[in-house]
Amino acid sequence: MPLSPPSRLSLRRIFLAVSFAGVLLMPIHSATAADAATVHPELWPRGHSPLPPDPALEARVSALLAKMSVEDKVGQMIQADIKSVTPDDVRHYRLGSILAGGNSKPNGQRTATAVQWQQLSDAFYRASMDISGGRLAIPVLFGIDAVHGHNNLVGSTLFPQNVGLGATRDPQLIHAIGEVTARELRASGINWTFAPTLTVPQDGRWGRAYEGYSQNPALVAQYAGAVVAGLEGKLGTPQYLDADHVIATAKHFVGDGGTRDGKDQGDAEISEAMLRDVHAAGYPPAIGAGVQVVMVSFSSWNGVKMAGNKALITDVLKDRLGFGGIVLGDWNAHGQVPGCTNEDCPVAYNAGLDMLEAPDSWKGLYKNTLAEVKSGVIPMSRVDDAVSRILRVKLRLGMFEAGLPSANPLVVRSTKVIGSPAHRALARRAVRESLVLLKNNGVLPIDPRRHVLVAGDGADNISKQNGGWTLTWQGTGLTNADFPGATSIWAGIRAQVKAAGGSTELSIDGSYKNKPDVAIVVFGEDPYAEFQGDLPNLAYRPGNDHDLELLRRLRGQGVPVVAVFLSGRPLWMNREINASDAFVAAWLPGSEGEGIADVLLRTGDGRIAHDFHGKLAYAWPRTAVQIPVAAAARGEQPQFPYGFGLTYADHGDTGPLSEDAGIELSSARAGVYFSHGKPAQGFALRLTGADGTTANVTATPAATADGSLRISSLDYKAQEDARSLGWFGKGTARAALVASAPLDVERETNGDVMLVTTLRVDAVSPQGASIGVTCGSGCSGEVPIGKQLAVLPRGQWLRVGVPLKCFRDAGADMGKLDQPFEWISSPGERIAVTDVSLGTVADQTLACPAAVGRP
């Protein structure tokens, strides 16, 4: 479809930005940081609100504003999370909105149904409309991250993540997905989504790259208006913001996809031209489609935090681009602005944010903001502008007349709306269109009348095929039972092969009873979200060749192999591509796994029902250290260029490809301190005896000088891939991993990341044990684990996790760890350890008991 006309000038700028990426992508080296962060609003495209003047609506806004107390106004400017706010709080503080973060569900549950969401929404609405004691009735907005369907709702339709939708090149599909998402949100009683994400990721190492449609700003601009119109309804028609649609949020303004090294919440060290023409490309068309909310990014532009950047928020977004809706902060992002805390940030309001997302800090923020408004630190004119914008959005949505959320007709028939056959059919179509074929030596399409082996840990794993932002923030800790109505990739293949008269066999490890005619191996990244997905390079599971070995083993047995790769980004996969007869980039396809079978398999009578359609929306790296967009600026070629994608009509025998990763793969993992029984690159294993003497372990067996701690090698899965530690004599001894340079894990600590130790407990000390970290002289945090360790099974390998928050609560500065792991114990303790790393999944998560800091 040709580009709809958001702006010929805007598209010309996009073309120029892409054409001259070699210049624009270079880091800023200007005279001063202030020069690099100077904004020139007059160089940005001039826009205006697409909504026609509405004197009646403005009269209502003015009338409400005149009746509101300062307390009422401040309450409207704060958004609290349902984990930390109650309906009574909304009634008392007159809060303008609430949100449900990725791990926030009704009644503190892990997952939630439509009825539970409806009941919660009704409770908050009733509280906001309570007029007892002379209160004003102003309905509360309820926002949620519905980013690939209503992904916080059990039984909903889950679409491919945006990285896959970019490969479809289908704006009409994107519009339809927006419509379905809106209907399922409304059917559960929710009226606002924090979508679409209009980021333009330039570095696949970023953990949020899969939330972006493409590296190409022109494609993002093309999709922006389509998805907003789907979510909110078409501007200028009766459907705009009617009962079938929701408030949309364009995010994250601006530059989140351009940070240095792809670091989440990092700094976009780029020119203003690059910021405008590439990273802001989606905002003019989104504003033109009537988007009602823009969320400001966590990230910085040339050293200035976006949440405090008045020039970009007020002078550009509001005044130059003409955005007239609500400007919203991200999750406590205001607390990162210099001089601010999560509970106090007048700078953000004065910069132009109308509402701050203060999930767990809202009460302190309310108190401080109220005082600052009364004292004039935040001018009343700024408050009135913010509250007016919030009221306009609520009035446009018809909230004052709509009544209880559960009164919406879609709620009444929610069981026929949520996860309906028509909605799932659309998601299945999206899966088909998103698949990108990178290699095919003739094995595809598959005759379904044959014997088909389906292997790999992604084959029958609906959580894995969805990725992050799925029922939980990280999308982890789930089983297929959490997805009623969904179809795994295996189930879709099995159904079609059976219908055609063939046979199937599921075997995660690739073993089989009867030799198959073909094997489909489904594997890929485990779910992650935000910074927990940040990578140091684009290597796939460095140090873990399990999937590669599976592909090679099957092929070595004479079985043709089709690799189906699940991922949120292109990764260096040359070895796996070489080991396969066909290689399919399936991205994160969502709940309708049968869409993959639709394309891989012929029909029962031998026809091709669905050919490959997808084209890469991101270039594919040639090595594990090549960042394709930046490499293009240097004249280097990627392995597969932007726009690549084979069909069945193409000659697709790709390869052999170079297997030079450009990096030592054994040292390429992120957040790994100890692997296969050895310290990771940049770390040393140090023993400290009860007498205080220390020694680094360079070979095993070894011991402290006083013999209080001894270490030896043992076999776990391979020869000497674990270490056994034993405590003897008297006193306390320690085994620690020492970093060659201080580590900053503050972001990970603010999330749900744990220090995960893969270990075997053989005996515990009667005096107990602790896990600790140190952060320089006089700085540490220890977490006592003796009692919890004592109940773990003996002689069994387990992944044991300690939340990083525990160490912070114990007094550690998580921004400068010099020893990110320390096991402290006394005589009688015997454990074996093979791996120490950061992660979100563990067999046993230890609670944070009373923790202690060490002087």
- Provide the annotated active-site residues: 330, 530
Strand segments (E) across 509-617: 518-524, 561-566, 582-587
Q: Tell the residue number behind the tokens 């007869």, with chain if given.
A: 581
What CA–CA distance (Å, rounded) separates 562 from 583?
A: 6
What CA–CA distance (Å, rounded) separates 683 from 128?
A: 54
Output b/e per residue, 742-754; b: 16+ Cβ within 10 A: ebebebbbbbbbb
Task: Provide the token pair at 159.
Answer: 């679409």
Distances (CA, A) of 709 to 335, 575, 714: 44, 42, 16
> CB neighbours (10 Å) of residue 507?
15
What CA–CA distance (Å, rounded) separates 528 from 463?
A: 11
What CA–CA distance (Å, rounded) separates 202 from 748?
A: 22
The candidate with the shortest Cα–Cα distance to 676, out of 663, 667, 686, is 667
Q: Tell the residue number behind the tokens 């959005």, with chain if given.
A: 393
The candidate with the shortest Cα–Cα distance to 779, out of 694, 688, 853, is 853
Q: What's the DSSP call for residue 356?
A: E
Task: Provide the token pair at 190.
Answer: 């929710």
The candidate with the shortest Cα–Cα distance to 140, out of 108, 99, 109, is 99
Distances (CA, A) of 499 to 505, 604, 616: 15, 7, 32
What CA–CA distance (Å, rounded) separates 3 from 492?
A: 35
Sign of the torsion angle spanned by Cα atoms 375, 377, 382, 388: negative
Is residue 577 within 8 A of residue 621, CB to CB? The reply is no
* AA identity, residue 291: V
Q: Tell the residue number behind the tokens 């490499």, with chain if given.
A: 631
Task: Provide the token pair at 815.
Answer: 């921004």
What CA–CA distance (Å, rounded) separates 344 from 364?
A: 7
192: β partners: 143, 247
Omega before 656 cis (within 30°)? yes
The candidate with the shortest Cα–Cα distance to 620, out of 558, 590, 577, is 577
What CA–CA distance (Å, rounded) separates 660 from 623?
A: 7
Task: Pinpoint the alpha helices (H) of 188-264.
Answer: 217-232
The candidate with the shortest Cα–Cα distance to 325, out of 280, 291, 350, is 291
Is residue 69 within 8 A of residue 31, CB to CB? The reply is no
Is residue 270 within 8 A of residue 280, CB to CB? The reply is no
The candidate with the shortest Cα–Cα distance to 321, out of 11, 51, 44, is 44
* AA identity, residue 238: P
Task: Provide the token pair at 715.
Answer: 């076999």
Q: Tell the residue number behind the tokens 């009373």, with chain if given.
A: 850
